[in-house]
A and B are shown apart, each in its own frame.
Chain A
């Protein structure tokens, strides 16, 4: 690894592999963090998005294979695991969402399993995958997609649009607008109501994304800091932290899924 000082080590670990529009208008991989920064919006974090898509396809291909061979008789190993997850998600949706929708349950399943897998990358030792890619000539590699706000916001903003779509679909434009403006203080306070309600609405995707991002960015950073210690001490900190994160990984995936269900459920409710 190119890093020699702790600062370099940390910043190296926090730099994405970026493919984007360079200063001279050509497209290519950024050489370092500064160049990546300069690319602005027209850049793709190849590592985050790549791992994210890879894990999504992994999830879907496993579940798809099980779904094709599904039996109502005695389930086999993989079908057991898949069924536990499906039933768990189905129950969570039934508990919180009382409308009828073909989208909510598969959405919740995708969110839960996909985010779980992306979070799980956190458990893999911080230097392991970057080292493998480094030896293949790839300089930067952030393997935990959820430590990239682009990933978490990408999902939460999609959820946000679903909230708006269902609000309008169920309540009509009028209903949605009046929900935003006529409460909590009645029609004489419309500007104030609107301010309050739009903050509440926008807080939903922002909190969803930042909660997930913050948790894992911090966790990853701590793993990186632990990685700076002498190798014979590392395990005393890394092991408890990793075990603790088995809990956090599941919990954060669950929270994201549950809040999505709840938000969409309120979007379906008429007042």
Chain B
């Protein structure tokens, strides 16, 4: 159990092992550890942020939905109003159209009646004149009695 060359050998191998460890073993391992640590802390941070974003988004969406509902209600109300307006308008138009049609129909009827009456009286006049003429062919002098017949005719016209 004496001190021998072994000590030197051990010292040299110790030095070589430490150098090797320092150059090829330690750096990749510790870098990987640090990188993973960073990844994890980044991940946790991102998760936190996402959490906050989610809460915000929820609030936003609630607001948006409320807004949308309000808008929809306004639109529906407007539409209802407009619809009733349109219906009223249409009613009014239809009413006035009805009046117009009825008025023109009345006029037409009157005109037709007038015309028919005129035609009828003319025809009667002719008929009476023809009949009276036939009856009193000999006695009636057209020249003499024209005034009487015209008077009759004008009475018939009324």
The residues of A with any CB-CB pair to B shorter than 8 Å are: 14, 18, 20, 37, 39-45, 48-49, 52-53, 56, 59-60, 63-64, 66-68, 70-73, 82-83, 86-87, 90, 102-103, 105-107, 109-110, 114, 148-151, 153-155, 157-158
Contact = CB atoms under 8 A, between A and B. Distances in A.
B4 interface: yes
A31 B35 CA distance: 56
B11 A70 contact: no
B25 A63 contact: yes
B17 A110 contact: yes
Q: Which of B6, B25, B29, B35 has the most CB of A within 10 A?
A: B6
Contacts of A153: 3, 7, 10
A72 B32 CA distance: 5
Contacts of B29: 63, 66-67, 70, 82-83, 86
Interface string B1-31: 1111111111101110110111011101110
Contacts of B24: 64, 67
A45 B9 CA distance: 10
B20 A149 contact: no
Contacts of B136: none
- What is the predominant secondary structure among interface residues of chain A facing chain B? helix
A68 B29 CA distance: 9
A91 B56 CA distance: 40
Contacts of A83: 29, 32-33
A148 B5 CA distance: 12
16 contacts: A41-B5, A42-B4, A44-B4, A60-B25, A63-B21, A63-B25, A67-B29, A83-B29, A90-B30, A106-B26, A107-B18, A109-B25, A110-B18, A114-B14, A150-B10, A157-B11
B112 interface: no
Nearest to B32: A70
B6 A43 contact: yes
Nearest to B5: A44
Given A43-B5, A103-B18, A103-B22, A154 B11 contact: yes
B11 A158 contact: yes
Question: How many residues of B sit at the interface, in one of the four size bands?
Answer: 20 to 34
Interface of B: 1-11, 13-15, 17-18, 20-22, 24-26, 28-30, 32-33, 35-36, 39
Contacts of B21: 60, 63, 106-107, 109-110
Given A90-B30, A153-B10, 5 more contacts: A48-B10, A72-B39, A83-B29, A110-B21, A154-B9
Contacts of B9: 44, 49, 53, 154
Given A70-B28, A83-B33, A37 B2 contact: yes
A73 B43 CA distance: 13
B28 A154 contact: no
Q: Which of A42, A45, A87 has the most CB of B within 10 A?
A: A45
A87 B33 contact: yes
B6 A44 contact: yes
Contacts of A40: 2, 4
A90 B33 contact: yes
B87 to A, nearest CB: 71
B38 to A, nearest CB: 9
B4 A20 contact: yes
Q: Which of B2, B15, B33 has the most CB of A within 10 A?
A: B2
A227 to B, nearest CB: 20
B25 A106 contact: yes
A42 B5 contact: yes
A154 B2 CA distance: 13
B45 to A, nearest CB: 17
Contacts of A150: 3-4, 6-7, 10
Contacts of B28: 67-68, 70
Contacts of A60: 17, 20-21, 25
